[in-house]
Amino acid sequence: MPIMPIVPMRQTRQIRKRLRRIQPFDILLAAGLTALALFMLLPIVFIISQAFKPMNELFLFPPTFLVKHPTMRSFELLFLHANSDVVPFTRYLFNTVIVASITLASVIIVSTLAAYVLAKRSFHFKALTMAMIMVSLMFAPETVQIPRFLIVSGIGITNTYWAHIVPHLASPVAVFLLIGFISQIPNELVEAAKLDGASEFGIFARLIVPLSTPAIATISIFTFQGVWGDTETSSLYVQDETLRTLAFYVNSLAGGLHNSVAGQTMAAAAGLLIFLPNLIIFLLFQKRVLSTMLHSGVK
């Protein structure tokens, strides 16, 4: 019985020692980082709040940051407005889901295969290929619009789903991240798999891909965000309205209703629909992103 109080006393001493180790700078640093995190959270809160504001709150002066009387009327107006058009809202959403799914799977397969060969195999012109990938990282997307248009129109895939998919297949950022991650995998593991009789594809599918899961999750996030919010392909390569994506519809909706008072509520709701999937996916896989950046040496 007298031994029982000893454990709480030891725990209390350990807690006191830890509290003594906390310096004023640590407290200030934690408070500063918390304040910075809350400040960076403000735009997200504003976007969500704006989508649920009734029309009278949208035009209050001075404007309010948080919604006082939330309503779903903005989303109802958005769906009703889309249903009154020739192409319904669900068609744009369906196109976006199809394009994002196929593009995501294609980019993962192409980038992972390319990164595996560049990281673990030797071949002629390997240094030149790596240099071309590094140089391509410096080009802004606007600088390759004309070459992309010439390629897409030249191979005859305009006004098809492939016009949305093909321009995203060559992803230098994805290949670069995967090369840095796959290079960290010991060559001994690959050699051991060969000795066990694994084929080249077996090594790739059973060894490289499972060990590269954090990097694959990271490029999945970047690819999904790029495709989900992309308006370039629908604007340049597609003239058939039934094949255009949700981002294009939202962009044209916001542009056509910017002088309309009633249209501001629909534009706010549409903006939330574009933003929310990106936020959810990033929050779910943010640890994967940090792990990949650490292993790939990205500063």
46-103 residue pLDDT tens: 888 888 888 777 777 777 778 888 888 878 777 776 555 577 777 888 899 999 999 9
pLDDT band at 295 (very low <50, low <70, confident <90, very high): low
pLDDT for residue 121? 83
pLDDT for residue 1? 45
Greater pLDDT, 196 or 296: 196
CA distance 299 to 202: 33
Which of 72, 71, 73, 53 minimizes the C-alpha distance to 63?
Answer: 53
Does domain 76-296 fall into CATH 1.10.3720.10?
yes
Within its chain, how far is the Cα of 191 from the centroid? 35
Instruction: Write the CB contacts of 89 (distance below 8 Å, at least 6 apart in sequence).
Output: 78, 79, 82, 83, 249
Which of 77, 58, 45, 60 minimizes the C-alpha distance to 253?
Answer: 77
Which of 75, 90, 123, 11 minimizes the C-alpha distance to 269?
Answer: 75
pLDDT for residue 3? 46
Q: From its phi and psi, is residue 71 left (phi > 0), alpha (psi between -120 and 50) or beta?
A: beta
pLDDT band at 297 (very low <50, low <70, confident <90, very high): very low
Q: Which two tokens stand for residue 123?
A: 């071949």
| pTM reported for the whole predicted model | 0.75
Pick from 67-71, 95-99, 167-171, 291-295 the range whose average pLDDT is largest: 95-99
Residue ranges covered by each domain of the chain: 6-73, 76-296
pLDDT band at 107 (very low <50, low <70, confident <90, very high): very high
User: Is it the case that residue 254 has pLDDT exceeding 70?
Assistant: no
The two most distant CA atoms of the chain are separated, in Å, by 87
Average pLDDT over residues 167-190: 86
Tens digit of pLDDT for each residue in 4-62? 444 456 666 666 656 556 667 777 888 888 888 888 888 888 888 888 888 777 777 77
User: Is it the case that residue 135 has pLDDT exceeding 50?
Assistant: yes
**Other CB atoms within 10 Å distance of the CB of residue 31:** 10
CA distance 175 to 267: 36
Average pLDDT over residues 156-165: 89
